[in-house]
Amino acid sequence: MLRLQKLTKTYKTGDQALKAIDLEVPKGQVLALIGPSGAGKSTMIRCINRLVEPTSGAVILENTDLTKLGPGALRRARREMGMIFQEYALVERLTVMENVLSGRLGYVGFWRSFLRRYPQADVDEAFRLLDRVGLLHMADKRADELSGGQRQRVGICRALIQNPKLLLVDEPTASLDPKTSRQIMRLITELCRERGLAAIINIHDVALAQMFVPRIVGLRFGEIVFDGVPAALTAEK
Ligand code: ADP
Ligand code: ADP
């Protein structure tokens, strides 16, 4: 469902963050992208939804090359991709519910979304998601009243409410303690399975990746140096 072809990113500084990456992610597959800091993980995720513009190569999501889309078509394509961030990126002064609903239009329509009343179906879905992640009782709390783990669960709901086909997850546990990190990884991978969602999860914690995902892709200096099951990774080290 997602295919990267010779995906290359060279920043203006001359940093070659991605060097002709080829990668295929089948429908419903969850993979972890691991590698040392500076390997290009974050660049890869951001090139897929074009928060970063690739220098060359193709990003093919269900037969559409996203690198060739104009602004309107890109906006529609981005609704197929949910994004989860390390630092949650919640709007602090809004409630949990409002933060979840803000995901309904995708990030491009972010501010516009506060100018209208939400359809009841969206509100219902937000309640269902909050219930699923155990935050129903927090729906009316402000985002800045939440713990890190709770904030990330709101981030997960916000990404899922637009019913994406692909989740792009950038270091979801980097700001969390080990126990909460495991809970968040379990939640993300379970939700992907329940919803048949594909996901690419950037994560520097190799042990955590091995615990929860069936496929690991290792990046180093902008190149894929490993692609296989978690057990194979252990054997190679
Ligand atoms: P990772 O997520 O694996 O830590 P990044 O994708 O953040 O790696 O970075 C890959 C390389 O690209 C690094 O050499 C980094 O310095 C460089 N890089 C990342 N973002 C930028 C940017 N905005 N401008 C210039 N160079 C960047
Ligand atoms: P630009 O104004 O350069 O087009 P954006 O406004 O799309 O950039 O995004 C700027 C940054 O804010 C992004 O790197 C992203 O991490 C973050 N961001 C944008 N929209 C959202 C959102 N809806 N939820 C969370 N983070 C967002």
Q: Is the dihedral of CA 217, 198, 211, 209 positive or negative?
A: positive
Q: Each residue's pLDDT tens digit in the chain (237 positions)?
A: 999 999 999 999 999 999 999 999 999 999 999 999 999 999 999 999 999 999 999 999 999 999 999 999 998 899 899 999 888 788 888 899 989 988 886 444 455 555 566 788 888 999 999 999 999 999 999 999 999 999 999 999 999 999 999 999 999 999 999 999 999 999 999 999 999 999 999 998 999 999 999 999 999 999 999 999 999 987 554
Contact 56, 140 (CB under 8 A): no
Query: Is the Cβ atom of 58 under 6 angstroms away from ligand 2?
Result: no
Report the residue among 42, 49, 51, 171 best suited for mutation to probe ligand 2: largest number of ligand atoms under 8 A from its CB. Answer: 51
Pocket of ligand 1 (CB under 6 A): 11, 13, 15, 17, 35, 37-43
Q: What is the DSSP letter of 95?
A: B
pLDDT at residue 112 in the model: 55
pLDDT at residue 108, as a whole number = 42
CB 85 within 8 A of CB 144: no
Closest CA to 198 of 183, 209, 213, 186: 213
Give the tokens for residue 81.
């991709």
Shortest-distance Cα residue to atom 8 of ligand 2: 51
Rg over alpha carbons for the chain, rounded to the nearest Å, is 17
pLDDT for 81 equals 94
Tokens of 87: 């630092």
Predicted pLDDT at 235: 56
pLDDT score of 103: 87
ipTM of the complex: 0.68
- 114 within ligand 2 shell (Cβ under 6 A): no
Q: Which pLDDT score is estimated for 116?
A: 61
3-class SS of residue 212: helix
